[in-house]
Amino acid sequence: MLKTIVIGAGRISLSHLPHIINHPGIELVSIIEPNFITRLLIKRLTRIKTVKSIDEISIANYDCAFILTPPSSHFIISKKLLDKGKHVFIEKPLSLDPSNSKSLLSIAKKKKLRLSVGYVYRFHPIYIELKNLLESHTYGVPRESKIDMIGNVISKSTPISWRNTGIGSGCLYDYGCHVIDLSFYFFGKPDSVKCLSKEEIYQEKVIDKFRAKFTFKNLKDFNSYIYCNWADETVRKASINIEVRTSKNTITCDGQTIYIVGETNKSISIKDLDTNVNYYLRGEEFQLQLEDFINNINRKSDSYSSAEEAVICDEYISKLYRESL
């Protein structure tokens, strides 16, 4: 059984902790959280040992770690753990500096440690099915894609936090990470990216919505467009909508159903797919993501493809942030 620690007990931890605690192949030995009130609450909720600092945990007491802290802390924490020979799962993005991300990947490869990044939508059954359909060309060769993620996270009344002020904040480092990674997942690494628009609505140097275009040399006449907006007050919760125009059909996906319209007219619901998992809370994807990390540790997998793509994702996020319109 693998022994693990969780670093960070903020909001995102509520999506991970139940899966970690209920996994039969994991023993959660401690949760590290610097905030006293949060630490007290999470201890009462989980009955797991909770401490203020990672230095309070013996290095010999765990095999891997889940880093669920703000992005600005990812590099320092994960490098410390990798240097000590620990497998690491990091919530997205890998880091805020692509050179740091490359350094983490290099350390993991050298020490033969697993390095996973929390791009959870790669494990969503409907997106796995969509990827298989697109790669098979069953419904035509992709000509253009549009991936939109829209939500209502930030408004004028939103309290200031790391999510909406300072380095690593904003829609680009939140929604943007996921949508860029989904584009990579479906179509591979692009050759170039161009920022088409971006807006700082509430805080200077904090991008609240943006639009970008990816081009691919290996996919003739194909472009991928992404649009993210986390400040849309007309919506209740976040949604991802995908549209892929192919040589034969238009394929759309709303996260629950794939619709194919054109030469072929059919739909594929998530209910039609195998979604059986050992533990379900927010969605199958969180359990499948965890299983992938644990299985790769146990199998001593030498594949780093997803971590390599996470590094590339950081490079393009950085380019979009710096690019002038």
Residues 317, 226: contact at Cβ < 8 Å?
no
The stretch 47-74 carries a mean pLDDT of 94
Do 129 and 98 lie in one domain? The reply is no
CATH number assigned to the domain comprising residue 12: 3.40.50.720
Above 70 in pLDDT, residue 325?
no
The reported pLDDT for the residue numbered 280 is: 87
Percent of the chain with pLDDT over 90: 86
Do 78 and 40 lie in one domain? The reply is yes
Do 19 and 43 lie in one domain? The reply is yes
- Provide the CA 271 distance to its chain's centre, in angstroms: 24
- Split at pLDDT 50, 70, 90, the class of 302 is confident
Task: Dig out the tokens for 78 from the structure.
Answer: 């994960």
Q: How many CA atoms lie within 13 A of 322 on its CB side?
A: 10
Specify which residues 224 forms β-bridges with: 145, 214
Task: Dig out the tokens for 210 from the structure.
Answer: 């943006």
225-249: pLDDT as tens digits: 999 999 999 999 999 999 999 999 9
In this prediction the pTM is: 0.94
The reported pLDDT for the residue numbered 87 is: 98
The length of the chain is 325
Q: What is the span of the domain harbouring residue 155?
A: 121-275
Do 174 and 248 lie in one domain? The reply is yes
Residue 238 DSSP class = -
CATH number assigned to the domain comprising residue 203: 3.30.360.10
Where does residue 56 rank: exposed (0-12), middle (13-18), buried (19+ CB within 10 A)? exposed
109-156: pLDDT as tens digits: 999 999 999 999 999 999 999 999 999 999 999 999 999 999 999 888
Do 126 and 256 lie in one domain? The reply is yes
Sheet order of strands, 87-90 included = 50-51, 26-32, 2-7, 64-67, 87-90, 115-117
Residues 31, 48: contact at Cβ < 8 Å?
yes
Residues 239, 254: contact at Cβ < 8 Å?
yes
Helix (H) or strand (E) holding 290: helix 284-299
User: How many Å apart are CA 222 and CA 92, to the nearest integer?
Assistant: 27
Do 243 and 183 lie in one domain? The reply is yes
Q: What is the mean pLDDT of the chain?
A: 94
The reported pLDDT for the residue numbered 324 is: 65
Q: How many CA atoms lie within 13 A of 138 on its CB side?
A: 13
Do 125 and 112 lie in one domain? The reply is no
